[in-house]
Amino acid sequence: MKSREHYSPEFRAEAVRLVLEQGLGQAEAARRLGIAKGILSNWVVAAKGGKDTSAIPGARSVAELEAEVARLRKALAQANMERDIIKKAAAYFAQESLPSTRG
């Protein structure tokens, strides 16, 4: 019976990157890395589903990313509103400072 091999998170991340970022097929990537296709397939599925972020160091779950997107959209809307207010105020004060041509 074969002993179970353990792979480092860095190795898993590199294997997943070969498939997801470089477009290499799972079978080809597994062959190049000397691992079973099923193992690599599990890592890729986990990485895509956001279930197991240990395969990709520094990765965050889908829920965390969605929360950050919502927060950033809210901040952008606030910044756009503030910009519009400043533009209107600048136009108002510029108009007020012009000498009147009415006589």
**pLDDT tens-digit readout, 62-93:** 788 889 999 999 999 999 999 999 999 999 99
| pLDDT single digits (tens) 18-42 | 888 888 888 988 998 899 889 888 8
Residues 70, 52 share a domain: no
Say what the alpha-carbon torsion angle 7, 14, 49, 44 is, to the nearest 10 degrees: -70
Q: Is the pTM of this model over 0.75?
A: no
Domains contained in the chain, number = 2
CA distances from 34 to 6, 14, 23 (A): 13, 13, 18
pLDDT score recorded for residue 102 = 62
The whole domain housing 92 covers 62-103
- Same-domain status, 55 and 66: no
Q: Give the H or E element holding residue 1.
A: none
d(CA 103, CA 100): 8
Co-location of 68 and 55 in the same domain: no
Query: Is 48:59 a contact under the CB 8 Å cutoff?
Result: no
Do 12 and 54 belong together in one domain? yes
